[in-house]
Structure 1
């Protein structure tokens, strides 16, 4: 019953997290697009303090949007703030982190071959990293470096590469990936909470009091726009991390930290194409370079073909027949390392149903899922989770040999 309720809890939190994230990302993309597409307004609008306007049609109706240099002469009775989408995404994400990784299946987070961690130790490292990197980012965004976009981007990228490498030294691959995503998400929400919303409050106060925004308010507004653009470039990498737990070939890779860094750089650079295009600057070379970099990454990540075992020879060097792996040996291997989770009715308290719907209770089912088993248990060696069952390299080799002998 505990595992059953845990599955429901995970589903509800994850569902809410995705909904909140879609709302936040959608609003973020829209306003970046809107700012980049504002046009010079007619003279009568300029006299009212309007900086730019835009006409659009959607859902069977026309829309007229205007942006003020400072604000309207009189504040409207209702003013919508875009902040709860970000806050809801962070809170549901943290809830998911605790429910699934800290207090859920320990195999997602802890890899004893890297570091033996208690629940408290994992929480301390994870939360400490989130808060520490956020503090570093805040120091940088408030420094003169923030005025130099490219230099700031390079420094931030190197920091996140370091975080990625560090998380892979401490956590299992899946847990490492999700913590890097949590770090990026925390930076993005901090941009809203510590930068964008305070700037908006200062601007609203100035308009309500009928005074011209002073230099401090202008500085806050300019910095808020920089933060908003940072969030825009971080969006695609964090979306990738959100869906990456479905693909062990990424987080289970020997150099998973570098794979994550490469994908982050490629997707952020590809986003730059669309940001420029919204300003009517088209640079197809950006997409071409991004595509070529992706192809290079695919080539670099490709698992090497399993090497055929060297021909067996006797003491005189004469070839001898290789004994096929007995079915009974593999069935015993499944019973020891797989069936606790990958059964129609898992005996592991961590699962109510077999992960990914894959059952491995007999050899026929093993053949049915041979490609995935080869990838997860032999090539990347990500399964069993955190190697909690203690499978040996010899057993992995045995499994690989049986899979080759029984295509």
Structure 2
């Protein structure tokens, strides 16, 4: 039964690995085509319908690339579609969200903010992603689609509103992660519902001998531009899970807002550079100022909502079983002495200003809540304490393993791995 915790952890690791790989492929392809599109040059004697061309050198050879603004006169025999990267990234991210839901009591719900059941929290989590796409898609299909600057500003307002809303019901960590998932869902839905169908219409017109309508390319271009500016903030939000300074403050929603602005300034520099050969250097100054503002917001004042949520939450049935398992009293003496110098409400280890990842290991209740993490990090492996700075002994690690396995064996199979 206890092995389920190890299996579950490896499954989470594997899904995250796939997610990172597919995200690299998607982001790499997206950035490449944006750079290619902006670097096209109009030269004499281009084929009919061609908008521009570009020569590139890579891997010991030269590439001659031409872009047709709408479509070529005839359908190419070999056509590569760039879609799997986006779909795979979203699907693996959705799988990670399911893994996150499995720890909803600890990571998702903040009783100090909203009195939600696990089911209600998961329902808000999943429903918000769908609702966000519907609102965004409605705005794009309205008359605002002809006013891209206004539309972009409204999209920014929507994202900030969602950041604030998530922070009213979820832990700080969950709020930023869900904002990232919210944004990534919009990006993938753009590809699935708009960009790819429009490209299929153009291909079908070519196959059936009709002249493709340029409006489909214009619509797809608008959504692709949004994806371009949203990419970097999504990466920040997904990484924020590991940095309490980003999420464990009442101003995390403002931090997210500034991150979206940084995404715009950074991409504007590179987009301009690809188009003209020289980027506007003022964007780096603005980006630096935004980052300084983020650093200030991260500590003014500290709220540490995840820690407050952990203290406010009563022990679940699973955690109560670990608290009553054989060997708990010994572990409750071992862990604070070896781990609480960092994982405390007021850490006293040099350089540690708050408990890493908001994880507290001071009281028996803290230890019962963190049973699985303790088992994996300080029992099965020697990841904690780092470099064994507190000299945890091997016999102490074995006691942790015996305690956890006794607790896991006393509960239903469905709960053993949580």
Q: TM (normalized to structure 1)?
A: 0.76
One of 344, 366, 381 as aligned partner of 2:341: 366
Relative to structure 1, the CA distance from residue 372 to residue 146 in structure 2 (aligned partners, 3 Å threshold; closer, same or farther) is farther
Runs of 4+ in 1 over 4 A off after TM superposition: 387-391
Q: Please report how far the alpha carbon of residue 264 of structure 1 lies from its aligned counterpart in structure 2 after TM superposition.
A: 1.7
1:301 — aligned with what? 298
Q: Please report how far the alpha carbon of residue 373 of structure 1 lies from its aligned counterpart in structure 2 after TM superposition.
A: 5.1
Q: Please report how far the alpha carbon of residue 364 of structure 1 lies from its aligned counterpart in structure 2 after TM superposition.
A: 8.0
Relative to structure 1, the CA distance from residue 257 to residue 388 in structure 2 (aligned partners, 3 Å threshold; closer, same or farther) is farther
One of 245, 253, 259 as aligned partner of 1:257: 253
1:29 — aligned with what? 31
One of 3, 9, 20 as aligned partner of 2:11: 9
Relative to structure 1, the CA distance from residue 364 to residue 296 in structure 2 (aligned partners, 3 Å threshold; closer, same or farther) is closer
- Give me the whole-angstrom Cα distance separating, in 2, the residues matched to 1:10 and 1:363: 27
- Give me the whole-angstrom Cα distance separating, in 2, the residues matched to 1:366 and 1:55: 58
* 2:249–2:301 CA contact under 8 A, matched in 1: no
Whose radius of gyration is greater, 1 or 2? 1
- Give me the whole-angstrom Cα distance separating, in 2, the residues matched to 1:364 and 1:138: 48
One of 245, 265, 271 as aligned partner of 2:267: 271
- Give me the whole-angstrom Cα distance separating, in 2, the residues matched to 1:96 and 1:109: 13
Q: Please report how far the alpha carbon of residue 269 of structure 1 lies from its aligned counterpart in structure 2 after TM superposition.
A: 2.2
1:102 — aligned with what? 101
1:54 — aligned with what? 54
Encode CA deviations 1:118-149: one digit per residue, 9 max, x unaligned.
Answer: 33212210111101110000001111112222
Relative to structure 1, the CA distance from residue 260 to residue 159 in structure 2 (aligned partners, 3 Å threshold; closer, same or farther) is same
Aligned ranges for residues 57-136 of structure 1 at < 5 Å?
57-99=57-99, 101-104=100-103, 106-136=105-135
- Give me the whole-angstrom Cα distance separating, in 2, the residues matched to 1:245 and 1:364: 21
Encode CA deviations 1:59-116: one digit per residue, 9 max, x unaligned.
Answer: 11111111113323332222111111111111110110011x2113631111121223
2:225 — aligned with what? 229
1:239 — aligned with what? 235
* 1:233–1:268 CA contact under 8 A, matched in 2: yes
Relative to structure 1, the CA distance from residue 259 to residue 389 in structure 2 (aligned partners, 3 Å threshold; closer, same or farther) is farther
Relative to structure 1, the CA distance from residue 372 to residue 257 in structure 2 (aligned partners, 3 Å threshold; closer, same or farther) is farther
- Give me the whole-angstrom Cα distance separating, in 1, the residues matched to 2:20 and 2:246: 21
- Give me the whole-angstrom Cα distance separating, in 1, the residues matched to 2:159 and 2:43: 41
- Give me the whole-angstrom Cα distance separating, in 1, the residues matched to 2:364 and 2:120: 18
- Give me the whole-angstrom Cα distance separating, in 1, the residues matched to 2:339 and 2:366: 24
- Give me the whole-angstrom Cα distance separating, in 2, the residues matched to 1:165 and 1:199: 34
2:355 — aligned with what? 376
Q: Please report how far the alpha carbon of residue 249 of structure 1 lies from its aligned counterpart in structure 2 after TM superposition.
A: 0.9
- Give me the whole-angstrom Cα distance separating, in 2, the residues matched to 1:78 and 1:225: 23
Q: TM (normalized to structure 2)?
A: 0.74
* 1:41–1:51 CA contact under 8 A, matched in 2: no
Relative to structure 1, the CA distance from residue 304 to residue 192 in structure 2 (aligned partners, 3 Å threshold; closer, same or farther) is closer
- Give me the whole-angstrom Cα distance separating, in 2, the residues matched to 1:224 and 1:191: 8
2:308 — aligned with what? none
- Give me the whole-angstrom Cα distance separating, in 2, the residues matched to 1:207 and 1:158: 39
Aligned ranges for residues 283-322 of structure 1 at < 5 Å?
283-302=280-299
- Give me the whole-angstrom Cα distance separating, in 2, the residues matched to 1:365 and 1:125: 34
* 2:166–2:175 CA contact under 8 A, matched in 1: yes
**Does the residue aligned with 1:57 lie in a helix, a strand or coil?**
strand
What is the CA RMSD across the aligned residues, in angstroms? Answer: 2.8
Q: Please report how far the alpha carbon of residue 384 of structure 1 lies from its aligned counterpart in structure 2 after TM superposition.
A: 3.7
Relative to structure 1, the CA distance from residue 364 to residue 211 in structure 2 (aligned partners, 3 Å threshold; closer, same or farther) is closer
* 1:107–1:172 CA contact under 8 A, matched in 2: no
- Give me the whole-angstrom Cα distance separating, in 1, the residues matched to 2:104 and 2:335: 19
- In the alignment, structure 1 segments of 5+ residues that lack a partner are 306-335, 341-346, 349-358, 392-407
- Give me the whole-angstrom Cα distance separating, in 2, the residues matched to 1:37 and 1:388: 61
Moved more, 231-240 or 197-206: 197-206
- In the alignment, structure 2 segments of 5+ residues that lack a partner are 303-310, 316-321, 324-333, 368-418
* 1:233–1:271 CA contact under 8 A, matched in 2: yes
2:20 — aligned with what? 18
